[in-house]
Amino acid sequence: MSVINIPEVEVEMGSASPNARTLRATVVQASTVFYDTPATVDKAERLIAEGASHGSQLLVFPEAFIGGYPRGSTFGVIMGNRSFKGREEFRKYHASAIDVPGPEVERIAAAAAKYKVHVIMGVIERAGYTLYCTVLFIDSQGKFLGKHRKLMPTGLERVIWGFGDGSTLPVYDTAIGRIGALICWENRMPLLRTAMYAKGVELYCAPTADGRESWQASMLHVALEGGCFVLSANQFCRRKDYPPPPDYLFGGSDENTSPETVVCAGGSVIISPSGTVLAGPNFEGEALISADLDFGDIARAKFDFDVVGHYARPDVLKLTVNDNPLNPVIFSSGTAAPEKMDSDNV
């Protein structure tokens, strides 16, 4: 695992002035051990330890790091029909997902507490037989703060993942700053970003599966628009990081693809509220990409542009967010069906 050099900034937490804080943060660019969740959790624990050894106080992991992003898979879906092989592939994918809360969450929380780091972790969450692309928030004391479920899966993701609702759009006020997260192309939804800005997000985490160079433009725009630090983490994967053919096929026909072929190029990056790229983007391989964040940059950026403050026009434009849980079944006792309950409240 390579480590990207960190700009020299003195780290002093706990200052009385909110603008005098600095924070060392790391985005993790690494691949899932696909279909092997215990091995992926082992890898996550090693990466948390490595990041902490470099002084990081916040580690952001990629989208679907635990459970895996099924890149290239069709799950046997064509319009009007599904194949048995695709159903079996979903069964294996479902088995690789995790319950939230659950034993894997407890292991990540224990590692966060051991190494005294905040961890933002992308997972595939299993809720009964529905899967969600989810981000977990864990603080440096090992407390599970809660989760965000992806509101709008993209393309074929909609076949395998359920849709989140407005009840999991948190921004947590932690000892290191106000932390929130949107996943992959959710970050291209202007109204959803506005909701995050209105909640005062300072550390805007963007776990993703988009390794294209065009993703960098989106992340730069978010940093400038929100006046916040943007921390985008993506997996770097080669064909060999997935099961070999014929057990797993990319688009149904990659038997001749080299095991070394890059199938996700990473591009993880950290950007300041002024639009300065502090670390990354990295398109070379697995890496820990770190930077020291000066919270004074937030005030300096918002002097020019505060999108939900002096630059807002509520007399003309307003946003209403439904942040209630949307449960399909409510019993007369007022509780939701067990498999659909918001596990934050269990």
Peptide bond into 101 cis (omega under 30): yes
The pLDDT of residue 341 is 47
* pLDDT range class, residue 187, cuts 50, 70, 90: very high
Torsions phi, psi for 310 (to 5 deg): -70, -15
**What are the tokens at 105?**
């969450």
* pLDDT range class, residue 330, cuts 50, 70, 90: confident
Asked if 63 and 234 touch (Cβ cutoff 8 Å), the reply is yes
In the predicted structure, residue 110 carries a pLDDT above the cut 90: yes
List, for residues 75-93, the tens digit of each pLDDT value. Answer: 889 889 989 998 999 999 9
What domains lie within the chain, and their CATH numbers?
2-345 (3.60.110.10)
The pLDDT of residue 120 is 98
What are the respective helix, strand and coil percentages of the chain, to the nearest 5? 30, 25, 45
Q: Which residue did the predictor score with more confidence, 142 or 20? A: 142
In the predicted structure, residue 12 carries a pLDDT above the cut 50: no
* pLDDT range class, residue 343, cuts 50, 70, 90: very low
In the predicted structure, residue 338 carries a pLDDT above the cut 70: no
Which segments of 128-262 does DSSP mark as H helices, in order? 157-160, 190-198, 214-226
| Beta strands 177-181 and 171-174, pairing class | antiparallel
The pLDDT of residue 1 is 67
Closest CA to 263 of 34, 48, 61: 34
The whole-chain average pLDDT of the chain stands at 91
List, by residue number, the catalytic residues.
Answer: 63
Residues near 125 by beta carbon (within 8 Å), at least 6 away in sequence: 67, 97, 98, 99, 100, 131, 132, 133, 134, 147, 149
The pLDDT of residue 145 is 97
Asked if 9 and 292 touch (Cβ cutoff 8 Å), the reply is yes
* pLDDT range class, residue 14, cuts 50, 70, 90: very low
The pLDDT of residue 13 is 42
